[in-house]
A and B are shown apart, each in its own frame.
Chain A
Amino acid sequence: MQGVTKSYPNGRLALRGVDLTIPEGDFVFLVGPSGAGKSTAIKLLIRDELPTRGVVLLFGRDLGRLKRRDVPRIRRQIGIVFQDFKLLPNKTVHDNVGFALEVTGAPRREIDPAVDRVLRVVGLTGQADQFPGQLSGGEQQRTAIARALVNSPRLFIADEPTGNLDPLISWEIIQLLLRINEMGVTVLMATHNAEVVTAVRKRVVALEDGRIVRDEVGAAYHRED
């Protein structure tokens, strides 16, 4: 992101002149109070929104100049999970994960093995035929992670992935994200979870009122001076 400013039609300035570079393979925590601009930054990265000023480059491409029909193609290189999981309640775990491949037009014979593979990674092989309503919160989030992984993304974005989960389960999710990072995938995680951020000691980018107020490698959730 280079000099990115985003203002919404209601006049609110969500981001003010943000410069941020994330090298491939990095693991970055995006922290800050609610309304600091974390969600807006993520929306800009997946080109759900366009910046008011400035440039967002993803994999070397200017998202502002991307043609409409190229947007889906670049989104397939991003895996994303949310606090509220966003699973389809009337599809099984297997079908929810397979859905991400299905919408890219992949043939069924390629979908099934790919789904089995990512379900093994997140440890949900046994729950493949259950519906989201039958799963615990942690299992639902792992399903969402599997869905985000099944397209073999280059960038993995997690927006408050542990917001709805208890501490123990949150740890499992973080461990999973660290493993995904070890597989070579860039991970960006927006979070409020101070304990986790401090314990993991990765790069921390803190947003406040639309500006980056801190960018430290191997840092804690709060400033340590």
Chain B
Amino acid sequence: MIAFVVFSLRRAWQSFWRNSLMSLAATATMVLMLVLLSGLIILLTGLDATLNYVQQEVQVVAYLKDSATAQEVSGLETSLHAMPQVTQVSFVSKDQAYHDFLARHPDEAEVINSLPTNPLPASLQINLRDPNDYLDVATYLNHQSAVDRVLNIKQTVDQMVTVIGILRAGGTAVLIVVGLIVLFIIINTIRLAVVARADEIEIMRLVGASDAFIRWPFVFEGALVGLIGAAITIGLLLVGQGPISGFLSDYFAVLPVEASATVGRNIALLVLGTGVGIGVLGSYVSVRSYLIR
């Protein structure tokens, strides 16, 4: 058994180099397709991170009555913290709101200073785990005595959720389509390499080689093409890492920094798995059509 594996590996290695033109074509196709695939995945990862960030930025703003006591407010804060939909609650006092307003609208300083009292209410700003929970939290707040009113941005939130959903679905669809195309092209290239050696397979069958004996060297050769293709692709990605992260932080500004190491490792594993997997699958399927009679 071990002798057979060693033998098949040796034959795979030999024929990889003997048919160097075909091997080169298959490997080059593999690299091109894997680069395409991983590029798309990097792009989609950036998009996903951005969408996540945008989702987290959805805030419910509840304006508090001036009459609300500190006790009422802190009680409300505690109960909000206890809600599973809520990630963060921050209290903005009347003074803070006043300063924020001035900072945002320096031209309106005269207007607001001409008023006898500070007209801006204190508020609670609540960050949500999922923007779809907006209505639940808003409804809850509307029933609290300390709350004057809840800023209604339901329409905006709904639109955003729709757009994000479309972007996600679109990204997934593109990924699936490209993935299928990549699969098809690589399998086809490997098939060509096998077809080029149809004579050899025929002779092997005629002199009484078992199916396993014919198949495994080809399968190992497919794995070798996948392995080399993946290695080159990962090398290219490493070289391109600097420019790629630069591009990502330009376009998506908010990509979480600590994620990039994990993302890199995942992409490397994906490239390796896809390369070797498709290499093996392609050879197996291609040789199969010569064996079954």
Interface of A toward B, CB cutoff 8 Å? 46, 48-49, 68-69, 72-76, 78, 80, 86, 88, 90, 99-100, 103-105, 147, 151
Contacts and interface: CB of A to CB of B under 8 A. Distances in A.
B18 interface: yes
Interface stretch (B135-143, B169-177, B187-195, B205-213): B205-213
Given A80-B206, A88-B200, A100-B207, 4 more contacts: A68-B211, A72-B211, A72-B213, A78-B208
Given A86-B202, A105-B4, A73 B208 contact: yes
A19 B281 CA distance: 44
A20 B7 CA distance: 41
B211 A75 contact: no
Task: In the A-B complex, list the 9 residue pairs whose CB atoms are closest, starting with the nearest.
Answer: A103-B209, A76-B208, A75-B208, A100-B207, A72-B210, A72-B208, A103-B204, A86-B203, A103-B213
Contacts of B214: 103
Contact of A104 (B199, B206, B208): B208
Nearest to A144: B203
Contacts of B209: 72, 103-104
Interface string B201-232: 01111111111011000000000000000000
A88 B203 contact: yes
Contacts of A104: 207-209
Most buried by A among B199, B203, B207, B211: B207
B94 to A, nearest CB: 86
10 contacts: A49-B293, A69-B210, A76-B207, A80-B206, A86-B206, A88-B199, A88-B203, A103-B214, A104-B209, A105-B4
B238 to A, nearest CB: 36
A43 to B, nearest CB: 10
B241 to A, nearest CB: 41
A103 B199 contact: no
Given A88-B200, A105-B213, A147 B18 contact: no
A88 B19 CA distance: 13
Contact of B207 (A48, A90, A147): A147
A86 B293 contact: no
B207 to A, nearest CB: 4
Contacts of B207: 75-76, 99-100, 103-104, 147, 151
Contacts of A78: 208
A25 B64 CA distance: 109
Contacts of B203: 86, 88, 99
Contacts of B4: 105
Contacts of B293: 48-49
Given A68-B211, A69-B211, A88-B200, A46 B206 contact: yes
Most buried by B among A72, A75, A80: A72
B6 to A, nearest CB: 12
A74 B200 CA distance: 20
Contacts of A151: 207-208
Interface in B238-293: 293
Contacts of A90: 18
A151 B199 CA distance: 20
B87 to A, nearest CB: 62
Contacts of B200: 88
A88 B202 CA distance: 11
Contacts of A68: 211
Contacts of A75: 205-208
Nearest to A69: B210
Nearest to B3: A105
Contacts of A147: 207
A103 B205 CA distance: 9
A48 B209 CA distance: 13
A103 B200 CA distance: 12
A171 B287 CA distance: 39
A103 B211 contact: no
A68 B203 CA distance: 17
Interface string B119-142: 000000000000000000000000
Nearest to B200: A88
A206 B245 CA distance: 78
Contacts of A48: 293
Contacts of B213: 72, 103, 105
A105 B214 CA distance: 11
A68 B202 CA distance: 16
Nearest to B206: A80
A90 B293 CA distance: 27
Contacts of B208: 72-76, 78, 100, 103-104, 151
Nearest to B204: A103
A119 B268 CA distance: 52
